[in-house]
Amino acid sequence: MRAVIIGTGGYLPERAVTNDQLAAEKGLDTSDSWIRERTGIGQRHFAAEGETASSMGAAACRAALAQGGADVAEVDCIIVATATPDSAFPSTAARIQGALGVTRGMAFDVAAACTGFIYALGIADALIRTGQATGVLVVGTEVYSRILDWSDRGTCVLFGDGAGAVFLRAGDPAPGDGLLSTHMHADGRHGDILAVDGGAGSTGGTGVVRMAGREVFKHAVTKLASAVDEALEANGLDQSAVAWLVPHQANVRIIEAMGRKLGLPLDRVVITVDRHANTSAASIPLALAEATRDGRIKRGDLVLMEAIGGGLTWGAALARF
Ligand code: COA
């Protein structure tokens, strides 16, 4: 058995905050032009009081099932990638399972920061190939607005909240169809350059994101390039076969560099960072949801996904929709 992508769904909190609004609200010494030029970000969405990773994730799951014409009764596995869970436990996945009314199979969270969706997809792929799951919701959902230091203008302008999901069904697709391969990497030696300072089990810290932006940028360009090469090579494919690049949405300059590497014009790259900012594990499934709904990604298109995040973690996935 192999995984076939049946439906995608996204959820964005209602409140969109422009760069100017953010600067004014938080009293930041920054400007719209600085943020746009360095990152491509124009606005981000922030969750309302009471909205959580699980409530947004459940909404994205419902949208993915509806788009795929799938019934919630098919779901026997929910994997949630998040760095901002509602609580240490129950997992956000178990909370979503309860909200959807699913009572069978498994539900668990994956912690791989901005690479979380690629990791969750990789685990789903393995569970389906080994016959342990047949209907899997793979979810990325984040409320980074609750783990930002509003006095650190170098990080707080970069992130936003949101959720995305895909529904995978076990099937027997023709060779070259369905989810083709996933590639996951980590190098914990670089953990300190992008980290949450403190957390549920720590003895200190403040629980906010700390980042050495330039260091992360350097790792991003080289590690993402090697992950996409690996994905194409594993499938005996050339970059010319790729219809769409759906990258993690951290910074438009990194996204453009990857597009150039693949020889893809920017109109074959799905970009949401201008409107969503960096929604971490949610950014790829949110972009998939947008581009399948507006008709850009069509059945039969080869889609290359890639991400890098705290850990460091990074990876890529290749799927024919
Ligand atoms: N507004 C105005 N000035 C800002 C600012 C802001 N929001 N944030 C930082 N600055 C200032 C700094 O204080 C610094 O000023 P100084 O020279 O007087 O000390 C100057 O801008 C340059 O800072 P630096 O951090 O070197 O900028 P940069 O060109 O590297 O851009 C990032 C910063 C964060 C945009 C860039 O490093 C980046 O995108 N890195 C990758 C981050 C990423 O993708 N993370 C997520 C991965 S999942």
pLDDT tens digits for range 179-204: 999 999 999 999 999 999 998 898 88
Judgement on whether residues 24 and 161 belong to the same structural domain of the protein: yes
Q: Is 154 in the pocket of ligand 1 (CB under 6 A)?
A: yes
Q: What confidence score (pLDDT) does residue 205 get?
A: 87
Nearest CA to ligand 1 atom 5: 154
Judgement on whether residues 159 and 227 belong to the same structural domain of the protein: no
Is 235 an annotated catalytic residue? no
Residue 256, domain extent: 178-320
**Segments in 15-152 forming alpha helices (H):** 19-26, 32-39, 53-67, 92-100, 116-129
Query: pTM for the whole thing?
Result: 0.97
Per-residue pLDDT reduced to its tens digit, 37-46? 999 999 999 9
Judgement on whether residues 6 and 127 belong to the same structural domain of the protein: yes
Alpha carbon 236 to its chain centroid, in Å, reads 26
- Name the pairing type of β-strands 2-11 and 161-171: antiparallel
Per-residue pLDDT reduced to its tens digit, 253-265? 999 999 999 999 9
Q: What confidence score (pLDDT) does residue 204 get?
A: 87
Judgement on whether residues 209 and 244 belong to the same structural domain of the protein: yes
Nearest CA to ligand 1 atom 33: 213
Judgement on whether residues 151 and 183 belong to the same structural domain of the protein: no
Last residue of a domain, one of 171, 198, 220: 171
Last residue of a domain, one of 127, 151, 171: 171
Which residue reads 């953990």 in tokens?
191
**How far is residue 76's CA from residue 74's CA, in Å, rounded to a whole number?**
6
Task: Kindly indicate the confidence band of residue 92, based on its pLDDT and cuts at 50, 70 and 90.
Answer: very high
Residues 6+ apart with CB under 8 A from 285: 8, 9, 10, 60, 117, 138, 139, 140, 163, 164, 165, 166
Last residue of a domain, one of 171, 198, 224: 171
Residue 159 three-state SS: strand
Judgement on whether residues 203 and 287 belong to the same structural domain of the protein: yes
Q: How many structural domains comprise the chain?
A: 2
Judgement on whether residues 50 and 143 belong to the same structural domain of the protein: yes
Farthest CA pair distance, the chain: 55
Rounded to 10 degrees, the C-alpha dihedral 239/242/248/252 comes to: 70
Judgement on whether residues 77 and 147 belong to the same structural domain of the protein: yes
Judgement on whether residues 7 and 156 belong to the same structural domain of the protein: yes
Judgement on whether residues 193 and 255 belong to the same structural domain of the protein: yes
Q: Is 34 in the pocket of ligand 1 (CB under 6 A)?
A: yes
Judgement on whether residues 24 and 120 belong to the same structural domain of the protein: yes
| Closest C-alpha among 270, 253, 260 to residue 37 | 253
Task: Kindly indicate the confidence band of residue 174, based on its pLDDT and cuts at 50, 70 and 90.
Answer: very high
The catalytically annotated residue of 19, 45, 61, 114 is: 114
Residue from 19, 22, 38, 215 to probe ligand 1 pocket by mutation (most atoms less than 8 Å from CB): 38
- CATH number of the domain within which 218 lies: 3.40.47.10
Cβ atoms of 263 and 239 closer than 8 Å: yes
What is the rounded average pLDDT of the residues 135-164? Answer: 98
Judgement on whether residues 164 and 189 belong to the same structural domain of the protein: no
Residues 6+ apart with CB under 8 A from 257: 221
Query: Would you state the structure tokens that stand for residue 49, as one six-digit string?
Result: 């009081």
